[in-house]
Structure 1
């Protein structure tokens, strides 16, 4: 178990050697998974850190807070080398360093960034905010295009490649209690030379009955988890719903992740429970009581499963100890 944050832990990323966490305490922490020690604290965020990604190709860490994405070079004293904004601006160094108190509102023309995702090669960064997803080309630190036509607060899944070329998304957005059914998942086709504003090429139906909280994508299979307590399995090639479990959990489904090397999906909920599913036939295999507080995010590396919670801790389990068949 990793402890050190002073407020709920909201986001996580991991390699086989390093763990990265972000929290409501406005900081990120970097942990050495070999020794179990905290090795760096990335501070100076204007508000909660809601998304964090590490790029193994460049050695850069991207952390999201309010309308900013801070870019950290962990090879150079874990220094903030650039700051990106939701509107597409780029600043050299740390543009948030002067924010000693919590910033509640965004600047003019800026919006809260909900989530980020990196392309497999680490060359593109996708940032979801407002009603669009901005596509950053990291080789030149510029915006290549915008995925538009969204409503609500979008979430972005990692892009994947198909015979037709790279696809971004899908994105999901939706209402809340008492609102109409959530908006559908949307898919975008991104060709090599695509620039400007790109509209969705497909809407996945039927939608969840409440807002989508999490997405997990592997090959041509996508899983979506929602505040309606359900999980849906989609086929991206056939562009259709394959299976759904409306009562996958007894509370909001807050996080999804795949177990590397095994046909398993993990889902986690606000009640602190992690469930294990067979990816192929979407049947339950087992469950873990992860935390007594809501689980905010989960991730995996080749050996471990990580779950972080509002109880300020990150817990991890050996992936080899997961059941391989229903108990």
Structure 2
């Protein structure tokens, strides 16, 4: 390869990296440990939520272009008893799950905890998502391979609607949804469930 070819390749690589450069920075100097999960809520003033290994959840309000240095605008009190493993923001609520097997629901109107579902699963909760079929439902998955579906709209409390005891024979690492289809992923399998909710 000629010197010009090497320079052109290097220039393209640097230009590509510049397009991926961070536009905004989040100040985590007040966290006691690293961030373990993220949540996002769009809108006029987008919000980013962080869960960390120090058991706390923080909210950052960002501007539309994402430029700037952002400090946490709120730290939700009533922390989990273990590492926060998943955060889902939906409407005026933020749901968090943890290795402590609990699910917490916080209100974005008064920034207080609305509800705690103690021992929502028998093992660590690994992932959560919202499935929008006929109504929004919270779906949770845990380390023992169980999936649970929760009603989040009829009351501020969570109401168990359905569960799949052994969706996988091992830990479910991640959940995703699209058009009423639920995808579950474990170490060796990817499954999909057509929901009738």
TM-score category by the smaller chain? 0.7 to 0.9
Counterpart Cα distance in 1 of 2:117 and 2:148? 12
Tell me which protein shows more helix as a share of its residues.
2
Deviation of the 1:267 alpha carbon: 0.4
Kindly state the Cα deviation for residue 319 of structure 1 after the two structures are TM-superposed.
1.4
Q: Secondary structure at the match of 1:249?
A: coil
CA distance in 2, matches of 1:185, 1:141: 27
Residue from 21, 24, 38 that aligns with 1:142: 21
Tell me if structure 2 keeps the 8 A contact 1:156–1:172. Answer: yes
Q: Which residue number in structure 2 is paired with residue 188 of structure 1? A: 60
Residues 1:208 and 1:91: Cα distance change in structure 2 (over 3 Å): farther
Contact 2:53 2:83 in 1 (8 A): yes
CA contact (8 A) 2:95 2:105 kept: yes
Tell me the number of residue pairs that the alignment of Structure 1 and Structure 2 aligns. 178
Q: Check conservation: 1:259, 1:319, Cα contact below 8 A.
A: no
TM-score, length basis structure 2: 0.82
SS of equivalent to 1:223: strand
Q: Quote the residue 2:8 is aligned against.
A: none
**1:316 has 2:197 as partner:** no
* Aligned counterpart, 2:88: 216
Is residue 131–residue 180 contact of structure 2 (8 Å, CA) maintained in 1? Answer: no
Q: Is the 8 A contact 1:257 1:266 kept in 2?
A: yes
Check 1:143–1:245 CA distance in 2 against 1; reply closer, same or farther (3 A cut).
same
Are positions 1:166 and 2:40 aligned together?
no
Change (3 A) 1:313 1:193: closer
Distance in 2 between residues matched to 1:156 and 1:217, nearest whole Å: 10
Residues 156 and 215, structure 1, Cα contact 8 Å, conserved in 2: yes
In the alignment, the residues of structure 2 paired with residue 191 and residue 210 of structure 1 have an alpha-carbon distance, to the nearest angstrom, of: 31
2:118 paired residue number:
246
| Partner deviation per Cα, 1:208-253 (whole Å, 9 max, x = no partner) | 0000111111122111110001111111122111111120000000
Q: In structure 2, list runs of 5 or more residues that go unmatched.
A: 1-11
Q: Do the aligned residues in 1 keep the contact of 2:175 with 2:183 (CA within 8 Å)?
A: yes
Greater C-alpha Rg: 2
Please provide the CA RMSD for this pair.
2.2
SS of structure 2 residue aligned to 1:208: coil
Match of 1:30 in 2: none
Counterpart in the other structure of 1:92: 16
CA distance in 2, matches of 1:157, 1:191: 16
The structure 2 residue matched to 1:295, chosen from 143, 163, 172, is 172
**2:34 aligned to 153, 164, 169, which one?**
153
Shift of 1:193: 6.5
Correspondence for 1:279: 152
TM value normalised by structure 1: 0.51
